[in-house]
Amino acid sequence: MTDLTHPAPSLSLAEAQAIARDFFGVEGGISPLASERDQNFRIIVHGESGFVLKIVNASEPQEQSDFQTALLDHLAQHAPGLSVPRLRRARDGQALAVVEAQGGPFRARMVEWQLGEPLAKAERTLETLGDLGRVLGDLDRAMQGFIHPGALRSFEWDIRTAGEARQRLGFVTDPEKRALLTRFLDRFDAKVAPRLPGLRAAVIHNDANDWNVLVDADGSGRVAGLIDFGDALHSLLIAEVAVACAYSILDLDDPIGAAAAIVAGFHGAYPLQEQEIDVLFDLIAMRLVISVTMSAQRHDKIADNPYLSVSEAPAWALLQRLDAINPVFATAILRQACGFDAAPGSRAAIGWIRAEAKGLHSVLSQHPARMRKGLVPYGDPANPMTVASATEEPEKATAWWDEHCAREGIDLGIGPWGEERTVYTSPMFESRLVAGTRRTRHLGLDLFLPAGTKLFTPLAASVKEVVIETEALGYGCLIKLEHAPEGCPPFVSLWGHLAHEAVGRLKPGDRLEAGDLVGEMGAPAENGGWAPHLHLQLSTATGLTATEILGVGEAPYLPVWAELFPDPADFAGVPPETFHQTGRSREAIVAERKRGLLPNLSISYEEPIKFVRGDGVWLIDDRGRAYLDCFNNVCHLGHAHPDVVEALARQAGILNTNTRYLHDNIVEYAERLTATLPDDLTVASFACTGSEANSLMLRMARTHTGRDEAIVLDWAYHGTTQALIDLSPYKYKRKGGEGRKAHVFEAAIPDSYRAPVDWPVAEIASRYAERVADEIAEMKRQGRAPGLFMAESIPSVAGQVFLPEGYLKEVYAMVRAAGGLCVADEVQVGFGRVGSHWWAFELQDVVPDIVTMGKPIGNGHPMAAVVTTKEVAASFNNGMEYFNTFGGNPVSCAVGLAVLDVIERDGLRANALAMGDYLLARFRKLQERHEIIGDVRGQGLFLGIELVTDRKTKAPATEFARAVNNGARRRGVLMGTEGPHDNVLKLRPPMIFAKADADLLMEVLEETFDEVAARQ
C-alpha cells in the first residue's frame, strides 16, 4: 500500500522533461500538475493534445503499478469509446519506465492528455450529473470482468471500511462536528456495514470527484471523460456512485436531487439493484466522513498541503445537511429516480388498496362515499378559514366552516392529498431537502366533521404508537397503525388531530379488527389547535415513526411522496370525483338541454343529479357522492360490469358489422337465448330497443293473424313508436295522448290488491280474466277479433302489479280461441329478475307465442330481442326482408352472451330470489310499523310498496310516496314511484344486490318513513 505520509516525488521540470524524452520519446513544453501523492507533469506537444507524465510515489508497491497498467489496457480493449487515460508505452514497449532521481528510483508512466475541463470548473446541471452517472455506468460495465491482484488492496478510501474513520475522530476538535460524525458512524456500523457483504463488488474507479471528471469545453455540459485511476480498487459497485455523488452534490441547493440524477444516469447504463440504492445515502455520507476525518488527521500531520483541504468546508456543510435529512426520504428519491418503488413494496401496497378499496370498512359510521362532500378551502390562502387556522383561531375557522356547510349542503369536509397550502407558516415547514424552499403540499387526507366523531379502521391493524404532540398546529393526539393484509406489503396509517381519550384506551401492540374504533376527532384544545378534523395519512415506509411521517412535503418531490405517503382517498373510501369536476356544471347542462334538446325529455328530481360513473350497485355523481341504485333495471348485473365491458370492448376492437355477413356470435347468442325459453319458442330476431322489438312483434302478429286489433292492459306502456303509443294506455290516456284508438281494447289491470272487495280471493284471477273476455265479446260485437293480447308479465308502470295466479292461463286460452296471439312483454321483467325463473311469464305457467325483450338484455348496451315460434316466424317470412342495421351485430351479441354467462356463472337468479325474500320480509316489518304501507309485493328483485292513506279505502298516499322517494334520494338511495296514482314505491335493484346493500336500503327506508311520517 502507498504510504500517504511518504513524500511525493519532487523531480525538477528538467528531470521530468528528460524522462519524457528519453524513455517515452515525447518532447514538448512541460508544466507541473497537482497530485496528492505522486508527481504529475503536463507535456504539450506541438500540434497534439499532449501527454501526462506521472512519477509514481516511491512507496507504491510494484503490484499496484502493474494493476494500473492492466486496468488501462483492459479499458483500451473493452471501452474504446470511453474517454479514459490511454497509455503511451515507453520506447522499450513497457508501460512503466524505471527512472532514477533523488528519493528514487521511481516508476514513471505516460498517458495521453484528455480533452475537457474539470467538472469542478463547470456548472453542475442535472443533465451534466446524469451524464456523469452514465459515463460511470459505462465504465463499470466495461470493467465487469476485470480483476487483478493489485485491485485487492486495503485502502482507507475503500468505503467498505468507512467505519475505521471512528479511529480518526480524535483529530476532529469541534465537539459538535464529532457528534455529527458519530451519528453517521453509528448508523453505518448498525445498519449499513452488515449489509455490505451482500452487495456486488467489482473493480471501480473509486474517485470520480469533480477534479477527475472532465466535461466538454464547448459548454454543452456533456461529460467528456474520467482521469486518475490511482484510487481504483476492488470494492462495492455502488461505491462508484457514492463517491461521485459525495463530490458532485457539494454546495447544491438540492443535493439529493443531484445525487438522484447521477444514480439514474448510472442505472440507465448499468442497472443497479434495489439493495445497492438502499445504502447509497449512507455511503455518500460515509465518503464525506472518510474525507473530513482524513483531512483532520493530515492537518495534524502535514499542516500545509492545500490539496488536502480542497473540499473540506463544503463537505462539512453537506454532512450537516445530510444529517438533517431523513435517510428514508433521501433513499425514496434515489430509488424512484432509478424506477424502483420509493419504498420496498410501495406500489404493490398502493395497488392492493386500490383494488380492495370497495371491501374496506368505512372509516366513519356513514360511508364517506355516500356523504355530500365539499372541499375545505385551505388551498386558498385568502379564505377566512385558512387565515383563521394559520393564526391559531380554530373557533373562528370552525364557525366559518360550519356556516359554509349549512349553506352548501355539505356533510363532510375534505382536505385533499397533494393540495398546495399556505397554512403551514412555522419554521418547521422549511425544507430540509431543497435549501431555501418550504414544504407546502399536504400529504394526508383531511376529513372535517365535528369533534367527537368516531373513526374506525378500514382494515385490521396493530397499534404501533399513540402519542401526543403538544406544539401549536401540531397533531395533538396521533396514532400510528400498521396493516398487513394478506397479499399486500405492510403499510402504515397515521391518524392525527384526535381526542386524547385514545391514549388511555389504546397502547402499542393492541390489535384492532377492521371496523374497530381508532379514536375520535379532537376538539381544538386537544387536536393541536385546529378546526376539528382527522388528518389521515398512509406510509408505505413502515419504519418511520409517527412523528417522522411527513404530513406536508416539497412540491418537486410530490411523485416520491405519492409512493411513500400515498393518497389515502381509496383507503378512506372517498371517490376521485370529490376532488375534480369535469365537463359542464349541472346548471349549464340543464340550460343546454332546455335550449337544444326536446323539451319533452324529463329530468329526475327537482334538483337534478349529474352522474359521472357507475360501479356495481352504485352511481357516483359529479361531486363524488355515491348513490345506491335500486331503480335502474337496465344495468342488470350492476353498472359497468367488468365482464360485459370486456366483451364489448374486445368485440368492438375486432369487428362490428350487420347481419348480412356470417358471424358466430349471432347464432351462438340465438342458441343460448332460446335455450332459456320454453321449447316452442325457438326463433330469435334482434333489434336495438324494446320499442323496436315490440314494433317488430306487431308486424309479426299482423302478418300472422291478418288483424290489427289488440287487447292491452290498462296503464300499460309498451314503447315509444306511434304504433306502440297507441297500445299504451299509460301514454294515450294521459296528457298529450289522443285517447284509445278503435283497434285497441283495454282490459282492467289485474291488481289483486285493488280488486273489488266483494270478489272472493280465489276468484280474483277469473274475475279479471272475464274483463278480457268482455273485450273479446265487444270486438265480436264490432265484427272484430283479437290479433294479439299483450301484457307485461308483471305490469310495471301500472305499479309493480303481480298477476293473480292462473290469470294468464285463462286469458291466453280465450285469446287463442278467438284466433289471437299471446305476447309477453318482458322488456322490464325478464332475464332472471324474478329469481325462480328466467322469465316472469313462467310464474303463470304459460307459454306465449311471442316474447319481447330489452332493457337488461345488454346491461346498458342498446339491444333487444323478439323470440317466437316456428309457425309465427314462417308466416312473417312473406317475402319482405327483415333488415335491422344494428340489431344482432357481433358486438351486441357478444354483450348479450356475456350477460347470460354472468347470470349463470354468478348464480344471480338465486341471489335475486334470496335478496328479494329478505327485502320482502323487511318491508313487511316496516309495514307493521307504518299504517301507510297498504301493500308489499314482489318476487326476486322486482318489488313494490304501495302507500295508502287508509288501508280500508286504499286511498292513494301519493304525496307520502313522493316524499319517501325524495327523502331516500337525499339519503343517497335511488328508487321510483309508479302506478296510476303514483303511490307505489318501485324498486328494481341490480341482480348483484348484496345483503349489505339490502340492509342499507332498509336503513334508509326506515329512516325516511319515520321522517316523513313525523312530518304528517
Ligand X SMILES: Cc1ncc(COP(=O)(O)O)c(C=O)c1O
Residues that bind ligand X (CB under 6 A): 689-691, 694, 717-720, 792, 796, 825, 827-828, 854
Q: How far is the CB of 338 from ligand X (least distance, A)?
A: 55
Residue 498 · residue 478 · CB < 8 Å: yes
Q: How far is the CB of 895 from ligand X (least distance, A)?
A: 15
Q: Which residue number, 193 or 797, has a Cβ lying nearer to ligand X?
A: 797
Query: What's the half-sphere exposure (Cβ side, CA atoms, 13 Å) at 211?
Result: 9
Q: How far is the CB of 476 from ligand X (least distance, A)?
A: 56
Q: How far is the CB of 578 from ligand X (least distance, A)?
A: 33
Q: Which residue number, 202 or 801, has a Cβ lying nearer to ligand X?
A: 801
Q: Which residue is nearest to ligand X (CB)?
A: 690
Helix (H) and strand (E) counts for the chain? 29, 38
Q: Which residue number, 132 or 725, has a Cβ lying nearer to ligand X?
A: 725
Q: Which residue number, 41 or 838, has a Cβ lying nearer to ligand X?
A: 838
Q: How far is the CB of 924 from ligand X (least distance, A)?
A: 27
Q: Which residue number, 529 or 976, has a Cβ lying nearer to ligand X?
A: 976
Q: Which residue number, 674 or 720, has a Cβ lying nearer to ligand X?
A: 720
- C-alpha 211 chain-centroid distance: 46
Q: How far is the CB of 838 from ligand X (least distance, A)?
A: 17
In whole angstroms, give the CA distance from residue 564 to residue 539. 6
Q: Write the single-letter amino acid at 92.
A: D
φ, ψ (nearest 5 deg) of residue 97:
-105, 145
Among 117, 101, 116, 115, which Cα is nearest to 17's?
101
Q: Write the single-letter amino acid at 428.
A: M
Q: How far is the CB of 599 from ligand X (least distance, A)?
A: 19
In whole angstroms, give the CA distance from residue 423 to residue 733. 63
DSSP conformational letter for 154: -
Q: How far is the CB of 890 from ligand X (least distance, A)?
A: 21
Q: How far is the CB of 632 from ligand X (least distance, A)?
A: 12
Q: Which residue number, 115 or 603, has a Cβ lying nearer to ligand X?
A: 603
Strands of 699-829, DSSP E: 710-713, 744-747, 788-792, 821-825
- C-alpha 677 chain-centroid distance: 43
Q: What is the secondary structure of 237-301 as a DSSP string?
A: HHHHHHHHHHHHTTT-S-HHHHHHHHHHHHHHHS---HHHHHTHHHHHHHHHHHHHHHHHHHHHH
Angle between helices 280-301 and 312-324 (to 10 degrees): 140
**Among the residues of 597-714, which ranges form H helices?**
642-652, 664-675, 690-705
Segment (H or E) for 353: helix 346-356
Q: Write the single-letter amino acid at 650.
A: R
DSSP conformational letter for 949: S
DSSP conformational letter for 847: -
Residue 240 · residue 213 · CB < 8 Å: no
Q: Which residue number, 334 or 827, has a Cβ lying nearer to ligand X?
A: 827
Q: How far is the CB of 790 from ligand X (least distance, A)?
A: 9
Q: Which residue number, 684 or 823, has a Cβ lying nearer to ligand X?
A: 823
Per residue, the 3-state secondary structure of 471-500, as one string, reads CCCCCCEEEEEEECCCCCCCEEEEEEEECC
3-state secondary structure of 1005: helix
Q: Is 359 exposed, middle or buried (0-12, 13-18, 19+ CB in 10 A)?
A: exposed
Output the nine-digit C-alpha cell for 722: 306511434
DSSP conformational letter for 430: B
Using omega within 30 degrees of 0 as the cis cutoff, is the peptide bond preceding 105 cis? yes
Q: How far is the CB of 692 from ligand X (least distance, A)?
A: 7
Q: How far is the CB of 634 from ligand X (least distance, A)?
A: 9
Q: Which residue number, 160 or 636, has a Cβ lying nearer to ligand X?
A: 636
Q: How far is the CB of 771 from ligand X (least distance, A)?
A: 20
Q: How far is the CB of 891 from ligand X (least distance, A)?
A: 18
Task: List all residues 6 or more positions away from 983 whose beta carbon is below 8 Å from its beta carbon.
Answer: 799, 946, 947, 948, 956, 957, 958, 960, 961, 977
DSSP conformational letter for 630: S
Q: Which residue number, 573 or 858, has a Cβ lying nearer to ligand X?
A: 858
